Amino acid sequence: MRVIITKDYEEMSKEAARIVVNRLKEKPDLVLGLATGSTPLGLYRELVRIHKEEKLSFAEVRTFNLDEYIGLKPDDPASYHYFMFENLFNHIDVRKENIYIPDGLAKDPEKYCQWYEEQIEKAGGIDLQVVGIGRDGHIGFNEPGSSLASRTRVKTLDEQTIKDNARFFPRLEDVPRFAITMGVGTILEAKELLFLASGTEKSDIVAKAIEGPVTSLVTASIMQIHPKVIAVLDEEAASSLQRKDYYRYAEEQARRFEGGFV
């Protein structure tokens, strides 16, 4: 795993955007996995800026989102459909038919989840998957105890996740209790993972995910067995890492060599 420690959230977002842009320039028809929440907002703002100011095109890109709440309409301001269109898709030239976000209103969720997996496979798999981390260590909505081989499915949300996400809803009781999420196994099949984390409140769980044991109790820890992961963290999120001095040294060395990967 390559660990890049940045000064602050803004620098983290720009570094993450640089990585996405480089992959897009290498492969204009990139299959891009996307995440929601406050962490990737800066990344999306930077991609929009680059699209508008530097004319970077997303016309051939296909996107797959990690998750969506069960029971929310796409135009609900708390839905991830709404989030993605408001913060990214409405501002770039991605084709609507190339956007895949789980359908929280699917009449047969189990069958729909199978269909979603099939669409990822038909696209040739995800080239670059953006992931964040919940305070309980989840990626997507793969809560503690999720199978590390799990596929896209309906998942019951943990109480901690419900409390953490309550800020996006009028009341705590309005937060959905279920979501469709890519499974841990699905995420692990992406060719490359771009892991983002920011803030002191994430520092302990980030350390467990990067340096702790691989365990279903911290589903993000599965990234340790993926062959190509870039973690971009701000100073606060990296503050509990035991080997942060090594990560800084390794990154300095990697940047001496074009295309270097550690």
Kindly list the domain boundaries of the chain, sorted by start residue.
2-254
Nearest CA to 177 out of 104, 117, 116 is that of 104
Q: How many other β-carbons are positioned within 10 Å of the β-carbon of residue 134? A: 24
The confidence band for 77, taking pLDDT boundaries of 50, 70 and 90, is very high
- State the Cα angle at 50 between 84 and 124, rounded to 5°: 60
Which fold would CATH assign to domain 2-254? Answer: Rossmann fold (3.40.50)
The maximal CA–CA distance of the chain, rounded, in angstroms, is 53
Q: What is the pLDDT of residue 241?
A: 98
Res. 22: pLDDT tops 90: yes
User: Rounded CA gap, 71 and 178, in Å?
Assistant: 8
What is the tens place of the pLDDT at every residue in 143-194? 999 999 999 999 999 998 899 889 889 889 889 999 999 999 999 999 999 9
User: Rounded CA gap, 240 and 207, in Å?
Assistant: 6
Amino acid type, 129:
Q
Res. 86: pLDDT tops 60: yes
Q: Which residues are catalytic?
A: 67, 136, 138, 143
pTM reported for the whole predicted model: 0.94
Instruction: Tell me what the mean pLDDT of segment 44-66 comes to.
Output: 98
The confidence band for 262, taking pLDDT boundaries of 50, 70 and 90, is very low
Average pLDDT, the chain: 95
Instruction: Tell me what the mean pLDDT of segment 227-254 comes to.
Output: 96
The confidence band for 258, taking pLDDT boundaries of 50, 70 and 90, is low
Res. 229: pLDDT tops 90: yes
